[in-house]
A and B are shown apart, each in its own frame.
Chain A
Amino acid sequence: MSPAKAANSQIFNHDHLLGIEGLKEAEITQILDLADIYVEQNRQTNKKKDLLSGLTQINLFFENSTRTRMSFELAGKRLGADVINMATSSSSIKKGETLIDTASTLNAMRPDLLVVRHGSSGAVKLLSRKVDCAVLNAGDGKHEHPTQALLDALTIRRRRGRLARLTVAICGDVLHSRVARSNIHLLNIMGARVRVIGPPTLIPTGVEKMGVEVFHNMTEGLKDCDIIMMLRLQTERMHGGYFPTVSEYFSLYGLDYEKLAVAHEDALIMHPGPMNRGVEIDAAVADDLTRSAIQEQVEMGVAVRMACLDLLTQAKRGDGK
């Protein structure tokens, strides 16, 4: 029996995990509860279970990724699945194959799980309609990155015991960030208060309608915050200047001890990685183990992904239904 069965498997009932938007509080709680169990498993010497034995997981990354892809690979392997990585730089996609043709080809190999990252918003959803297996969105364009939001939530919940009523500031390049969007959805669903902080050029139009307060002054925005989520400045997605210089950006929006002082005294600092030290976060702050949960986030990532893989294959395994 999988731990999922113990953790009430009747709640989460989706074919795919394409985003946080649309999930219910109980479903998120179920994923996090299950992930808690996997955190313990991952801390054992023998980390491997045979829950997904016989199932095939393909990691299909159209965008470069090391940490997320490895995290999904470990998650699959620790559950006993056969995991295959398909890097698109060396594949037929480079030769002009369309996304849908790639999907059909992979589908014919009868995978049970497809973990997909793509540079275009909505692309993973498009692909999910063309395959017969469960699809996990590992990040699509500027749209969603659901497992990142879930691992952030798990990190916060383990540190603070809850998500509701916490004040969370999401800082920096919100415009280009799928992590920010997934986190805004999740934190709102779970009853947290969400702020976004950044220069007006990096705050997307109408974001307040997603349920956030917008601040352009970091010191005002960080006041009394419980959680500070820093975002990576995604210069690769920027066409043209969104701010004058990196030094001005760091001075106004980089997290250092001075700005941190206005937040709650034990405010937790998070970053989805990889960090640009000296750009959005001061190196000393990032390495401050009493404040920073950045390493912990990586650990939670594997557990959360194991929980998602488990839940998405339950119906197929005939487990819990």
Chain B
Amino acid sequence: MSEYTLYKNARLLDPASGLDIKGELLSKDDRIASLGEKVDAPENANIIDLKGKCLAPGLIDMRVFVGIPGADYKDTIDNTGEAAAAGGVTTVCVQPNTDPIIDSIAHIEYLAIRAKNALVHFVAMPAATKQLEGKEMTEIGLMSNAGYNTFTDCSSTIENAAIMNRIFKYASAFDALIIPHLAEHNLSKNGCMNAGDLATRMGLTGIPTAAETIVLERDMRLLKSTGCRYHASQITCADSIDVIKKSKEAGLKVSAGVAVPHLSLNEYAIEDYRTFTKLSPPLRSEEDRIAVIEALKDGTIDVIVSGHDPEDPESKRVPYEQAEAGVIGLETLLNVSLEMHHNGSLSLLDILSKLTSNPAKIMGLDCGVLKEGAPADFCIFDLDSPYRIDPDKMISITKNTPFDGRPVQGRVIKTVVSGKSVYDYDG
């Protein structure tokens, strides 16, 4: 027998259609049956009164690192799923740098088995080159045909332009999406923060924004002849934004993303050598951060990711230069992004589009929208609830968040995956 759930008194938010109404939504099993101001529900439907709270498609996080397999002291698939659910994230795109590296169908299937009982959907993003070495391409055709058509070497740059060119050419035949890491090796290898006067004062080696833009410009040049689909998932600076903007205008199949820390923090967060602010690419200047917000506003940047990357305390309790880069972010993806709504820089639907419908469209996922027949994956949140971020209350095993103590407004109160509630905020 089918199971129906009626969500009433909801503020329904669907960025794909621009819907923002007070209404009701009925799910049947794992799909949306109907939605509108008033919907007919069968008598046996479960009724959930949302009391005016927001109901949006479940968030899709295009950049999440997991410790499993290979590093279960950092986190587990179950824990990542629980943290995602607590953050309103219903689809987690897993970066391939696990041990073993996800670079074949066998590895994708292994992840699927491990993630079978997880609270949210795990989508593998396989490597573009074998062992992430930047030398030989993976089985892009076979994996694409099996439904996994987004490829990334996550945190390593494919240095060799000829190999990158071949990957673009080959991948274009399968309509695959390539997500690069933008950091020119020699300009970034010894660096640990943004280059500039703050790095000089702190005595740390800087990474110039040019390290990012140079690789992006190279790739744009190559894409002109290959026509591959391309997504720059972590844009951090004004110069790169200009490149993306021009490439979009020129008709290249390019999209762009930004990680939450880069839109909400600048390099000054590093003050006192806080290793929880060490990222790759690094936090940039305030001018660059403002440029990122503008690019989100004008649509140059399509996607917001968390860049969730658990690091165990041992790799963070060391001098800044030696610390691992990476911060957790699943539980701060929505609330920190909502700052842009509260301070008037972006509309609520605009923000949500970058967390739901845009990533779904770019990756070709069947989710991220509220419409009849779509998956019943929802993020239900209280838009206004104020509180301070408290790492001790986070579900992630590791607590390496740069947002410790930050005041935010907006709290996930319920997360639904395939029609089932997977998270309820209990105060």
- Residue pair B201, A210 in contact (C-beta under 8 Å): yes
Q: Given the complex, which residues of A lie within 8 Å of B203, measured CB to CB?
A: 121-122, 140-144, 178, 181
B185 within 8 Å of A (CB atoms): no
Determine the distance from Cα of A207 to Cα of B195 in the docked complex, in whole angstroms.
Answer: 11
- Residue pair A125, B196 in contact (C-beta under 8 Å): no
- Residue pair A210, B204 in contact (C-beta under 8 Å): no
Determine the distance from Cα of A123 to Cα of B275 in the docked complex, in whole angstroms.
Answer: 11
B174 within 8 Å of A (CB atoms): no
- Residue pair B206, A121 in contact (C-beta under 8 Å): no
Within B189-203, the residues touching A (CB, 8 Å) are: 190, 195-203
Q: Mark B226-267, 1 if CB is under 8 A from A, else 0.
A: 000000000000000000000000000000000000000000
A43 within 8 Å of B (CB atoms): no
Counting chain B CB atoms within 10 Å of each CB, which of A120, A140, A142, A178 scores highest? A120
Within B358-412, the residues touching A (CB, 8 Å) are: none
Q: Which of B157-165, B304-312, B315-323 is found at the contact surface with chain A?
A: B315-323
Partner of B195, one of A99, A140, A205, A239: A205
Q: Mark B182-226, 1 if CB is under 8 A from A, else 0.
A: 000000001000011111111111100000000000000000000
Q: Mark B312-334, 1 if CB is under 8 A from A, else 0.
A: 00100111111000000000000
Q: Given the complex, which residues of A lie within 8 Å of B273, measured CB to CB?
A: 121-122, 125-126
A206 within 8 Å of B (CB atoms): yes
B426 within 8 Å of A (CB atoms): no
Determine the distance from Cα of A123 to Cα of B200 in the docked complex, in whole angstroms.
Answer: 16
- Residue pair A142, B201 in contact (C-beta under 8 Å): no
- Residue pair A120, B200 in contact (C-beta under 8 Å): no
Q: Given the complex, which residues of B lie within 8 Å of A178, measured CB to CB?
A: 203
Determine the distance from Cα of A146 to Cα of B200 in the docked complex, in whole angstroms.
Answer: 16
A265 within 8 Å of B (CB atoms): no
How many residues belonging to B are interface residues under a CB distance threshold of 8 Å?
A: 22
- Residue pair A206, B202 in contact (C-beta under 8 Å): no
Q: Given the complex, which residues of A lie within 8 Å of B321, measured CB to CB?
A: 120-122, 141
B272 within 8 Å of A (CB atoms): yes
Determine the distance from Cα of A121 to Cα of B202 in the docked complex, in whole angstroms.
Answer: 7
Q: Given the complex, which residues of A lie within 8 Å of B190, measured CB to CB?
A: 239
Report if A98-B201 is in contact (Cβ < 8 Å); known contacts: A125-B273, A205-B195, A239-B190. no
Q: Given the complex, which residues of B lie within 8 Å of A142, measured CB to CB?
A: 203-205
- Residue pair B320, A121 in contact (C-beta under 8 Å): yes
Q: Given the complex, which residues of B lie within 8 Å of A121, measured CB to CB?
A: 202-204, 273, 319-321
Determine the distance from Cα of A98 to Cα of B322 in the docked complex, in whole angstroms.
Answer: 11
Determine the distance from Cα of A207 to Cα of B197 in the docked complex, in whole angstroms.
Answer: 6
Residue of chain A at shortest CB distance from B204: A121
- Residue pair A205, B197 in contact (C-beta under 8 Å): yes
Determine the distance from Cα of A126 to Cα of B202 in the docked complex, in whole angstroms.
Answer: 13
- Residue pair A205, B319 in contact (C-beta under 8 Å): no
Q: Given the complex, which residues of A lie within 8 Å of B201, measured CB to CB?
A: 21, 181, 209-210
Residue of chain A at shortest CB distance from B317: A100
Q: Mark B11-29, 1 if CB is under 8 A from A, else 0.
A: 0000000000000000000
- Residue pair B200, A207 in contact (C-beta under 8 Å): yes
- Residue pair B319, A118 in contact (C-beta under 8 Å): yes
Q: Given the complex, which residues of B lie within 8 Å of A204, measured CB to CB?
A: 199-200
The smallest C-beta distance from B282 to any residue of chain A, in angstroms, reads 14
Residue of chain A at shortest CB distance from B198: A206
Determine the distance from Cα of A209 to Cα of B199 in the docked complex, in whole angstroms.
Answer: 12
Partner of B200, one of A21, A118, A126, A210: A210
Report if A98-B318 is in contact (Cβ < 8 Å); known contacts: A205-B197, A206-B196, A206-B200. yes
Residue of chain A at shortest CB distance from B322: A120
The smallest C-beta distance from B204 to any residue of chain A, in angstroms, reads 5
Determine the distance from Cα of A21 to Cα of B203 in the docked complex, in whole angstroms.
Answer: 12
- Residue pair A205, B206 in contact (C-beta under 8 Å): yes
Determine the distance from Cα of A186 to Cα of B425 in the docked complex, in whole angstroms.
Answer: 52
Partner of A122, one of B200, B206, B320: B320
Q: Mark A107-151, 1 if CB is under 8 A from B, else 0.
A: 000000000001011110110000000000000111110000000
Q: Mark A160-179, 1 if CB is under 8 A from B, else 0.
A: 00000000000000000010
Partner of B319, one of A120, A206, A208, A209: A120
Within B23-57, the residues touching A (CB, 8 Å) are: none
- Residue pair B319, A126 in contact (C-beta under 8 Å): yes
Q: Given the complex, which residues of B lie within 8 Å of A140, measured CB to CB?
A: 203
Q: Given the complex, which residues of B lie within 8 Å of A239, measured CB to CB?
A: 190
Counting chain A CB atoms within 10 Å of each CB, which of B203, B272, B314, B320 scores highest? B203
Report if A99-B202 is in contact (Cβ < 8 Å); known contacts: A205-B197, A206-B196. no
- Residue pair A210, B319 in contact (C-beta under 8 Å): no
Report if A206-B320 is in contact (Cβ < 8 Å); known contacts: A121-B204, A122-B202, A142-B204. no
Determine the distance from Cα of A15 to Cα of B137 in the docked complex, in whole angstroms.
Answer: 56
Determine the distance from Cα of A209 to Cα of B319 in the docked complex, in whole angstroms.
Answer: 25
Residue of chain B at shortest CB distance from A121: B203
Q: Given the complex, which residues of A lie within 8 Å of B199, measured CB to CB?
A: 204-206
Within A205-250, the residues touching B (CB, 8 Å) are: 205-210, 239
Counting chain A CB atoms within 10 Å of each CB, which of B196, B198, B199, B273 scores highest? B273
Q: Mark A3-23, 1 if CB is under 8 A from B, else 0.
A: 000000000000000000100
- Residue pair A205, B202 in contact (C-beta under 8 Å): no
Q: Given the complex, which residues of B lie within 8 Å of A126, measured CB to CB?
A: 273, 318-319
Determine the distance from Cα of A140 to Cα of B190 in the docked complex, in whole angstroms.
Answer: 17
The smallest C-beta distance from B211 to any residue of chain A, in angstroms, reads 13
Determine the distance from Cα of A124 to Cα of B196 in the docked complex, in whole angstroms.
Answer: 23
The 9 residue pairs across chains A and B that have the minimum distance between CB atoms: A206-B197, A143-B203, A122-B273, A120-B319, A142-B203, A121-B203, A123-B319, A204-B200, A209-B197
User: 21 A–B contact pairs at CB < 8 A?
Assistant: A98-B317, A118-B319, A120-B320, A121-B319, A122-B273, A126-B273, A141-B203, A141-B321, A142-B205, A143-B203, A181-B200, A181-B201, A205-B195, A205-B197, A205-B206, A206-B196, A207-B200, A209-B200, A210-B197, A210-B200, A210-B201
Q: A121-B320, A141-B203, A210-B201 are in contact. List 13 more A-B contacts (CB 8 A).
A: A99-B318, A99-B319, A121-B202, A121-B203, A121-B273, A126-B273, A141-B204, A141-B319, A141-B321, A204-B199, A204-B200, A206-B198, A208-B197
